[in-house]
Structure 1
Amino acid sequence: MNDRRPLFTIGQLAARTGLPVRTIRFWSDSGLVPPAGRSAGGYRLYDTEAVARLDLLRTLRELGLDLGAVREILTRQSTVGDVARAHVRALDARIRALQVQRAVLRSVAQRNSTTEELRLMHDLARLSAEERQRMIDDFVDRAFEGIDPQAPGARIAQGMRQLPAELPADPAPEQVDAWLELAELVGDPSFADRVRQMALAGAAAPADAGQGGYEPSAVLEHAGPAVADGVDPRSPEGRAVLDRIVDPGLPAAERDRLADQVETFTDRRVERYWQLVGVLNGRPPFPSQVPVFEWFVAALRAHA
């Protein structure tokens, strides 16, 4: 056989490509650059195709592709385009993770976080969107366990699950802080118990129960300015405001029942949950309404 193809030893191949001998030997042992033959002394010899394969190998590895992906390309199991697209997706995910970590560190620097907050923020930054959603879903499942999803009031469970599919590529400090506060909130057993109390009360309410003798819009319209003006709910002025919200002739027992009902569904931490979910979803902030309904409850009890 008269084969005039030029053949190279590993040393000559290293000199020609600029790659270290140990790298070429490793890739050769891995089957990515098979030798074309052996010398009389048993040394591996490589042809010009090996030079081209080494150039491609180096390029793919510098782009960050692992040996499995490189092998698929070299064996024609995948095209360069297929592997490149998959790698772009992986890089996008990594970039998003780094951006979230950067936002977390920025928040840590601004708020002078404690060691415990730093640990929690680091753990949260490493969670995928699916893992973050699972954390919220587990909380909602515990709070609404055994409650018919079609029962009155139970539909709020779906709203409580609504996290964004992904945090923004470069989350604002308030979004990082919102996620931290939300994680602490759903991890508090007493908060889960409070939400469950509200869920059970809502599920047990008759479908036609309505608001039980008052209109929430009237509470906001009349008690809102009273809270802003510092009107004492136990004062005569407070009684006058209350009379514009409920029937002045409402019996004392009904006032107590109504106060209990409103108080069951009035909670600052639950309202804060909705505010935090809104921040994460990029919705405009809304002012707290809980102090207004707390004023309403106090007025009902004072003038029963």
Structure 2
Amino acid sequence: MSPDDTWSIGELAERAGVTVKTVRFYSDGGLLPEAGRSGGGHRRYGPEALDRLRLIRSLRALDLPVPDVGRVLEREDLRDGVLEDVIADRLRELGSQMAALRWREAALQLVQDCPAAERADRLRLIGAVSAPPSTAPMAAFWRGLLPPRLSAGLRSAIVEAAVPQPPADPTPAQVLAFARLHALVAEVLPHVDACRPTARRSDGAGRPDVLYSGLGEAYALAADAVRARRVPQGGEALDAFVGAYAGARGVRDTGAFRRELGVVLAGAADPFLDRYWRLVGEVSGGSAGAAEPNMGDAHEWLRAALGDGVTVGTVQPSAGAGAAT
């Protein structure tokens, strides 16, 4: 150190193990304090500049952007919340980047392993999906599909349950299923109102919350049976299912009503929604293919139970959170 206990920019750079250009960059950016200037106007730095430069290097080694480094350096105490906030932000960014890389890796494997004749089609499907993929088109589809008079809270719950989240570590098959699901929704999204099931438009037009909350309860009650692949049958879940439609219409659950509803639902089968839910199962299933039952699975199980002519039960449904196909 010189007699006045300061270093030149070159001496500081040498002690810190960086280039003079690096020191000048941080100094010009206001991140590195100067102790003063020499008689010739050259920058001089004290020991605190060396400590600060080492801290800057540590923060930059964590890939923190320079503006975030500046936010941290504005606070003398690293134990306050600024550093924690900056690191949390960076972790979220890295998580998104890693998800995108995992998605791209699975997509590349999908194209590499498929027959040559299918590559053009798969490239087209994958190219239409961002990485990491967005679920916004599917959410927009469900918001348009559901009745306009449905309450906001119930609408949000249904959309959340109906839209599959991209797998954190997808297989090539899951990438393909998600891409096909994205393409399916993109094709019908401009005409989403026409996709609204006829049975929902007529039976629940006046009381959509009664219908959809009741269906949600019925789906939850049927989940164990669907998961265990039991034969569709009567019981509490079917009673709640029929009760949702009866409550929306303002009528009683009778044998005649069940027969009528069975005919209506059989005639309202929707190939588009059937394909949607099959793809959702493929997206959610993972490598083992063991997806949790979705709303489409539960609805089909209950519709089949109703179609078998099960007699009227005694369990009355209550309103609950849920969603419908």
User: What's the TM-score, normalizing by structure 1?
Assistant: 0.63
Distance 2:10 2:49 in 1: 13
* CA shift for structure 1 position 174: 2.3
| Matched-pair contact (CA < 8 Å) for 1:103–1:176 | yes
Which residue matches 2:123?
Answer: 118
Counterpart amino acid of residue 57 in structure 2? R
| Matched-pair contact (CA < 8 Å) for 2:167–2:284 | no
Select the structure of larger CA radius of gyration. 1
Distance 1:33 1:159 in 2: 50
Matched, 1:61 2:88: no
Distance 1:160 1:81 in 2: 30
Which residue matches 1:226?
Answer: none
Which residue matches 1:50?
Answer: 49
| Matched-pair contact (CA < 8 Å) for 2:110–2:172 | yes
| Matched-pair contact (CA < 8 Å) for 2:31–2:70 | yes
Specify which structure has the bigger relative contact order, considering alpha-carbon pairs within 8 angstroms and separated by 6 or more residues: 2
| Matched-pair contact (CA < 8 Å) for 1:14–1:21 | yes
Which residue matches 1:266?
Answer: 269
Distance 2:128 2:41 in 1: 54
CA gap of 1:99–1:143, structure 2 versus 1, over 3 A, is: same
Alpha-carbon deviations, 1:55-99, whole Å to 9, x = none?
Answer: 111121121001121112211175544433332233223212221
- The worse-fitting range, judged by mean Cα deviation, of 109-118 and 57-66 is 109-118
Matched, 1:202 2:207: no
**Partner of 1:188: helix, strand, or coil?**
helix
CA gap of 1:258–1:86, structure 2 versus 1, over 3 A, is: closer
Matched, 1:85 2:83: no
| Matched-pair contact (CA < 8 Å) for 1:37–1:46 | yes
Counterpart amino acid of residue 202 in structure 1? R
* CA shift for structure 1 position 141: 2.9
CA gap of 1:258–1:88, structure 2 versus 1, over 3 A, is: closer
Matched, 1:162 2:165: no
| Matched-pair contact (CA < 8 Å) for 2:12–2:50 | yes
| Matched-pair contact (CA < 8 Å) for 1:101–1:122 | no
User: What's the TM-score, normalizing by structure 2?
Assistant: 0.59
Matched, 1:137 2:139: yes
Alpha-carbon deviations, 1:191-236, whole Å to 9, x = none?
Answer: 846622x2x34321489xxxxxxxxxxxx99xxxxxxxxxxxxxxx
| Matched-pair contact (CA < 8 Å) for 2:143–2:159 | no
Aligned match of 2:102 in 83, 99, 103?
99
**Partner of 1:124: helix, strand, or coil?**
coil
**Partner of 1:45: helix, strand, or coil?**
strand
* CA shift for structure 1 position 31: 0.3
Matched, 1:37 2:40: no
Q: Superposition pairs for residues 219-258 of structure 1, below 5 Å? A: none
Counterpart amino acid of residue 195 in structure 2? V
* CA shift for structure 1 position 127: 4.7
CA gap of 1:69–1:141, structure 2 versus 1, over 3 A, is: same
Distance 1:183 1:177 in 2: 10
Distance 1:264 1:159 in 2: 25
| Matched-pair contact (CA < 8 Å) for 2:144–2:193 | no
| Matched-pair contact (CA < 8 Å) for 1:101–1:125 | no
| Matched-pair contact (CA < 8 Å) for 1:100–1:125 | no
CA gap of 1:36–1:144, structure 2 versus 1, over 3 A, is: same
Alpha-carbon deviations, 1:142-199, whole Å to 9, x = none?
Answer: 33454x438xxx99x93795224x4232112222111111111111239846622x2x
Counterpart amino acid of residue 126 in structure 2? M
| Matched-pair contact (CA < 8 Å) for 1:136–1:161 | no
Which residue matches 2:310?
Answer: none
Matched, 1:15 2:20: no
* CA shift for structure 1 position 122: 4.0
Report percent identity of matched pairs: 33
Counterpart amino acid of residue 35 in structure 1? E
Counterpart amino acid of residue 10 in structure 1? I
CA gap of 1:96–1:258, structure 2 versus 1, over 3 A, is: closer
Distance 2:129 2:159 in 1: 22
Name stretches of at least 5 consecutive residues in structure 1 with no aligned partner: 208-219, 222-256, 297-304
Distance 1:122 1:35 in 2: 52
